Amino acid sequence: MNRQITNEETDQLFQFCRRHYVYHYDVQVELVDHLASAIEEQWEENPELSFDEGLKNSFKKFGIHGFSKIKSQKVKELRRKYNRLLWHYFLEFYRWPKVITTFVCTLGLFLLFQVIEKSIWIIGSFMLLLFIGVILYHFLIFKKAKIEAIPGKSFLLVDQYSRVTQTYSVIAQLPNISFQTFNILGLKSIENIWILLGLSFFMVALTVLLYGQLFYLPKKIKEHFLEQFAEFAV
């Protein structure tokens, strides 16, 4: 029967990863799996090979920057995964039946532009509401909903959660950017109906996108974390 990695040797592999500056547990798990498989493959050819020699040979295959490359790949995979989820969530609002709600909101906003003469007040109010919303989000939701892992464990998924939810730091600048843009262009109102229609579409789409970024994605990331690492959640 071929030799297999023991629990004690698995612990040594985790320690080996930490010694080589891999601190995220979800990355360590992937690396340990790679290293264990590589060592067991060597044992199939040479059962007398020691664990330390097998580990040394396996590590050589990764190269000097091998571990950091795997971490970078993992980060990219997570970003692509959650960007796809966000894009899918966003597009649902432009498919049946949610498109009805999106269409009504866009049309309502467009009609509001027709009624109120100064477009800047509508846009400014919208941006101000976004600003107030993200402030409330930060103090009432973010701090209570964030993922808590046991001390001594770090996870790329937790980092991804923080990256996703900290979008509000960018949103907070939108009101100032909007007013500055109008001041530079010397605009108080926009009369072109196509521009107003485009603005209505953009404002509704931005609202959907931000809701997905601040509520839907964090919820999904937290679900995935609890599915994979429930024993490390506080």
Would residue 70 count as lying in a domain?
no
177/96 same-domain check: yes
- How many structural domains is the chain composed of? 2
Point out the domain boundary residue: 23, 39, 63. 63
pLDDT at 63: 73
**What is the reported pLDDT for 56?**
92
Q: Tally the C-alpha atoms within 13 A of residue 155's C-alpha that lie toward its C-beta.
A: 24
**Are residues 55 and 80 both part of a single domain?**
no
Domain end among 63, 88, 109: 63
Q: pLDDT, tens digit, for every residue of 116-157?
A: 877 778 887 888 888 788 778 878 887 777 788 888 888 988
Q: Is residue 69 part of a domain?
A: no
Segments of the chain scoring below 70 in pLDDT: 1, 64, 166-189
Shared domain check, 114 and 43: no
29 and 110 both lie in a single domain: no
First to last CA, the chain: 41
Question: Do 110 and 182 share a domain, yes or no?
Answer: yes
Kindly state whether residue 217 falls inside one of the protein's structural domains.
yes
Q: Which residues contact 80 (CB under 8 A, 6 or more apart)?
A: none
Q: Are residues 222 and 144 in the same domain?
A: yes
Residue 178 shares a structural domain with residue 130: yes
Q: Do residue 20 and residue 122 come from a single domain?
A: no
The answer to whether residue 153 is domain-embedded is: yes
39/103 same-domain check = no
- 2 lies in a domain? no
Tell me which residue range forms the domain holding 207. Answer: 75-232
Give yes or no: residues 33 and 145 share one domain.
no
User: Are residues 16 and 54 located together in one domain of the fold?
Assistant: yes
Alpha-carbon span 90 to 207, nearest angstrom: 10
What is the structure's pLDDT at 53?
93
Q: Are residues 45 and 97 in the same domain?
A: no
